[in-house]
Amino acid sequence: MPLDTADIERDWDTPVVDAGIAAKASIIARVGLLDLRAGTGSFRIHELMHRIGYPLGVHVRANINLTDMDVSCSDGVSRITQVVDLPTTGVNTERIWLLEHFADWFSVNIGEPGTTYHAQTSVSTAMVQQLDNPEAQRSVLSATQKAHRELEKRKRVHEKAVKRVKKRGFRPPKGQYAKHFEHIGKTREDVVAEQAAAAEAQAKTEAASAQSQAGNRPRVDAAISNSAVRAENVAVNANRENGSSRISDSSVRIDGSNVNNAVNENAGNASAASTSAAMKSASSKSQAEPKATTMVAKANRGITVRQAHERLSLIQHRKPLYAPWFSGLASAVACACFVFLLGGGPFDMIGAFVGAGIGHWVRRRLFIYHLNQFFVTFVAVAVAAFACIGTLRLIGFFDPVALRHDTAYIGAMLFVIPGFPLITGGLDIAKMDLPSGIQRLVYTMALILMATLAGWMVATIVHLNPQGFEPLGLNPWVNTALRALTAFGGVWGFSVLFNSPQRMCFTAAFIGAITDTLRLTVVDMGMPPEAAAFLGAMLAGLLASAWRSSVRHGFLPPYLGYPRICLTVPAIVIMVPGLYMYRAMFYLGQFDTLNALDWAFKAFMVILCLPIGLAMARVITDKSWRYDV
């Protein structure tokens, strides 16, 4: 969005609270645009922009779509509307997390700490301040904790030094370094008094120098004064000797007037010089005081528009946390675990591991060139499917059993499941934001269509007929333990694909291991998959809310507070019925419409229940969702 317009540049170095409506609206709209680019739902963008606008006295109304938004801001006097758009969309949970901390940092630095979300705002302040630290590129939280440890270390060293001085006393060194220790033991008042005395001495020096520049006039005046004194003495002596009081009085009176005139003239010259020096000093002080006063006033009024945009630029231009090869590895782990949860065995997991790893690596490399998302999705899925099938055919040379695993390639393409827009679209509809929710669901269906179409074309080329996975026949307790382990690994892998920091990945994986294991267990007990999906999603939402509340109330460390959406979506994305959707497309390609509709409606019911479960958890735990106000 443009920031070089005259109405924004005019207030660029003005405190935000004193800036015009255009400068304030630029910050509000940019925060919303960055959050929209991160892939979150419109309900969160509304909330975040309100958190920025409320402390500024700005009322915000926004119409948010999938890739564009128009924002109207009013402060009761003026109103401005900005329309901004994006070339594409994506998912970046780290940015969602940082923008939440930016909102708290912003509130604290404009003097409105009561509008923050986190109970301990020092974490948000430290994290946002560390964004320009080169070490923060890999991990903002690690850089913040390292800076905090260094600060604590310096404090301990200082406290030890103070205790040692109090115990042993302090004797400053002598010689050329003595002046560097003169401040020790002095209060601030002492320092101010010394500065005032130094300024007064400088004024006297300037007055003396101005007097010396007057030339020889002081010497003449002094000579006159001395001669007058001598004449007075002579007149007094004559008066004593001759008894002529009249002459002596007149002599004293005349000479006394000369003395007074000489003294008054010298005093006048010195006074003029002192006045000139004082005026010169006052003039320089009067020129410096407005600048200092302005700087102090601006500092007291909080951060400027420039400082706010600088922090937002640091958030905007952060590079992905993980290299393409590591993201490929995470995709491989996630899809291999996904295959096991669907009922696959070791050969299926190996094929999905290789195919998903290569496919996502290709996907990341193609996105560098800003290619069309649907084209990239089609190519990445095709590459993943061919890599999976090729791996199993290669293993088949050594173990022919691997050739019978013709469903594994479906698991290799599950890394393209658009879980974020799918879930956030449902949540937007639950919040009555129908345009945004419908657009996100349509976008999701388009991506799924491209992915399943690519998989069906590969299966047609290599003559595959996937019929599902063979039962493994594991002990129920062993099966449950393996499900919990693979659910943890699957959610961790998808969290990495969403660019989550590692602590956030492990937190989401912990929630996902509980919820997905429970979902599969109740399905084995006879519950319909749709109801189990609803139960698992609602439990994930409740656990995420409990985690966040524990951080807010101090039961967990403050740096472990993450947005709910960053924990719940990765935790339930492995519940998305990718196998159902692919089989629907497979039967549709064979014009078997009855089976195609059967699998399509099964997938639709599960997909429908996932956001409903999350919305129900929000209604239970969040009063802003409980009431339509």
pLDDT band, very low/low/confident/very high, at 239 (cuts 50, 70, 90): very low
In this predicted structure, what is the pLDDT of residue 189? 64
> Between β-strands 59-64 and 68-74, what pairing exists: parallel, antiparallel or unpaired?
antiparallel
The whole-number average pLDDT for the span 373-382 is: 94
Beta carbons of 298 and 304 less than 8 angstroms apart: yes
Compare 598 and 403 and report the one with higher pLDDT.
598
Residue 608: left (phi > 0), alpha (psi -120 to 50), or beta? alpha
- Do 411 and 380 contact (CB within 8 A), yes or no? no
> In this predicted structure, what is the pLDDT of residue 256?
39
pLDDT, tens digit, 9 for 90 and up, residues 198-216: 888 887 787 777 777 655 4
What is the SS3 string spanning 442-504? HHHHHHHHHHHHHHHHHHHHHCCCCCCCCCCCCCHHHHHHHHHHHHHHHHHHHHHHCCCCHHH
Class of residue 597 by CB neighbours under 10 A (exposed 0-12, middle 13-18, buried 19+): middle
For residues 267 and 100, which has the higher predicted lDDT (pLDDT)? 100
User: According to the model, what pLDDT value does residue 534 have?
Assistant: 94
CB distance 54 to 106 below 8 Å? no
Q: How many residues does the chain have?
A: 629
Alpha-carbon distance 374 to 89, whole Å?
12
Q: At residue 68, what is the residue type?
A: D
Q: Are 468 and 410 in contact (CB under 8 A)?
A: no
Q: What whole-number distance in Å separates Cα of residue 24 and Cα of residue 198?
A: 45
Distance CA 536, CA 429 (A): 20
Q: Which of 118-132, 274-288, 527-541 has the highest mean pLDDT?
A: 527-541
* Highest mean pLDDT pick, 160-164, 562-566, 587-591: 562-566
Q: Residues 434-446: pLDDT tens digits?
A: 999 999 999 999 9
Lowest mean pLDDT among 6-20, 55-69, 228-242, 425-439: 228-242
Sign of CA dihedral 425, 569, 444, 577: negative
- Of 347 and 287, the one with more pLDDT: 347
Evaluate whether 121 touches 66 at the Cβ level (below 8 Å).
no
Q: Looking at per-residue confidence, does 595 or 295 come out higher?
A: 595
Give the residue, 12 or 182, on which the prediction is more confident: 12
Q: At what angle do helices 93-109 and 42-53 cross, to 10 degrees?
A: 20
CA–CA dist 357, 333 (Å, integer): 8
- pLDDT value of position 123: 78
DSSP string over 198-238: HHHHHHHHHHHHHHHTTTTHHHHHHHHHHHHHHHHHHHHHH
464, two tokens: 């595959």
Write the DSSP assignment of 127-154 as a string of letters: HHHGGGSGGGGT-HHHHHHHHHHHHHHH
pLDDT of residue 573 exceeding 50: yes
- Average pLDDT taken over every residue of the chain: 81
How far is it, in rounded angstroms, from Cα 442 to Cα 101?
A: 31
pLDDT beyond 50 at 344: yes
Least confident among 138-147, 304-313, 386-395: 138-147
Minimum mean pLDDT range among 80-89, 197-206, 265-274, 412-421: 265-274
| Overall average pLDDT of the 487-503 stretch | 94
Lowest mean pLDDT among 154-158, 485-489, 616-620: 154-158
Q: Please say whether the beta carbons of 439 and 310 come within 8 A.
A: no
pLDDT beyond 50 at 224:
no
Q: What is the DSSP string of 494-557?
A: HHHHTT--HHHHHHHHHHHHHHHHHHHHHHHTT--HHHHHHHHHHHHHHHHHHHHHHHHTTSS-
pTM for the structure as a whole: 0.77
Torsion over CA: 321, 323, 329, 331 (sign) = positive
Q: Give the pLDDT confidence score for residue 173 in this predicted structure.
A: 65
User: At which residue do the structure tokens 């975040």 appear?
Assistant: 48
Quick check: 231 pLDDT over 90?
no
In this predicted model, what pLDDT tens digit does every residue of 512-566 receive, in sequence order? Answer: 999 999 999 999 999 999 999 999 999 999 999 999 888 888 788 888 889 999 9
At 379, is the pLDDT very low, low, confident or very high (cuts 50, 70, 90)? very high
Contact 49, 60 (CB under 8 A): yes
